[in-house]
Amino acid sequence: MQRIHTIDSHTGGEPTRIVIEGGPDLGQGPLRDRVRRFREQHDHVRAAIINEPRGSDVLVGGLIVPPHQTDCDIGVIFFNNTGYLSMCGHGTIGLMVTLAWQNRISAGICRIDTPVGVVEAELLDHHTVRLQNVPSWRYRTGVVVDVPGHGPVTGDIAWGGNWFFLVGDHGQNLSAGNSAALTAFGLRIRAALEAADITGANNELIDHIEMFGAPQHADSSCRNFVLCPGGAWDRSPCGTGTSARLACLAADNRLQPGETWHQESIIGSVFAGSWQPSEDTAEHAQGPVIIPSITGSAWVTAENHLLLDETDPFRYGLPTG
Ligand code: PYC
């Protein structure tokens, strides 16, 4: 019987399952290489943790690993129902609150190694975390993609730790009650981008679609809907998606360094975002390279010992796809 100790939390409604013990040993080396090892040698463990009958499509997992960068406190690899995430903002907030709940950290800054660079997370109180994300930037603006059955859709392509296609002019109702239609439309946009060979820099796949519009709460700046790579929608305002949006706002001179932006999800949960100029450069950036800062709150919801019984035909989760 294989046992995996996990702790669940939600950040603005979006769940995270952190593996505390019993996850795969991915060895040493840069986290990018360890993701490859996870995918090639232990993908069944990812599926067992995330997929039904123990998990669900919306769940994001996080495996704590020893950092490769010597100035980091820990490393983390995030994964979901279909694969691996380069970075995850809500998951990092969930990770910090989980570590605080276990009394493994107290107030202060934690440097976290990820497959796409180092992030800094500061525990402000037992539930609130400020995350300084990886350098983020807008790659292309005003990109038009023809979505079959709909027509042309215009958006920006930006990096916020994952690749995003951000659309303002979508004509959709950004409400939780409309999530099925938003998901269907987001999937069609993503398929159209792929069919048209529209990618992020270095031909990287754009696997997140973000639609944004007017907020419903007076204190918010904007509302968004984010479609994640596995087809689930982010219940939180999406940390990497908010970072990508901040990069676009900075590029359009619509948000100044240090100014606060309140990003609201379709369930009304809010992240506070701001940015500072980065010293990094990005060869094809259309606008400044920024360091986004994202503040959000998480709560621990469960502590589990997942049991993988070798006689269970579905011990590695139900088949997907
Ligand atoms: O918060 O960055 C995020 C995120 C990515 C996918 C789901 N959440």
Angle at 224 between CA 164 and CA 177, to 5 degrees: 125
Read off the tokens for 230.
């596995």
Residue with tokens 């939780």: 176
Arithmetic mean of pLDDT over the chain: 97
- Indicate the top mutation candidate among 79, 82, 97, 162 to test ligand 1's pocket, ranked by most ligand atoms within 8 A of CB: 162
Model pLDDT, residue 321: 62
Q: How far apart are CA 249 and CA 266, in angstroms?
A: 20
End-to-end CA distance of the chain: 27
pLDDT at 320 over 90: no
pLDDT tens digits for range 104-148: 998 889 999 999 999 999 999 999 999 999 999 999 999 999 999
Ligand 1 shell residues, CB under 6 Å = 14, 60, 85, 88-90, 228, 234, 236, 238-240
Residue 93's closest CA among 277, 269, 247? 269
Which candidate in 72, 222, 228, 238 is catalytic? 238
Q: How far apart are CA 255 and CA 272, in angstroms?
A: 13
Q: Any catalytic annotation for residue 238?
A: yes
Q: What does DSSP assign to residue 118? A: E
pLDDT tens digits for range 209-253: 999 999 999 999 999 999 999 999 999 999 999 999 999 999 999
| Cβ neighbours, 10 Å, residue 318 | 10
Residues 6+ apart with CB under 8 A from 58: 14, 15, 81, 232, 233, 235
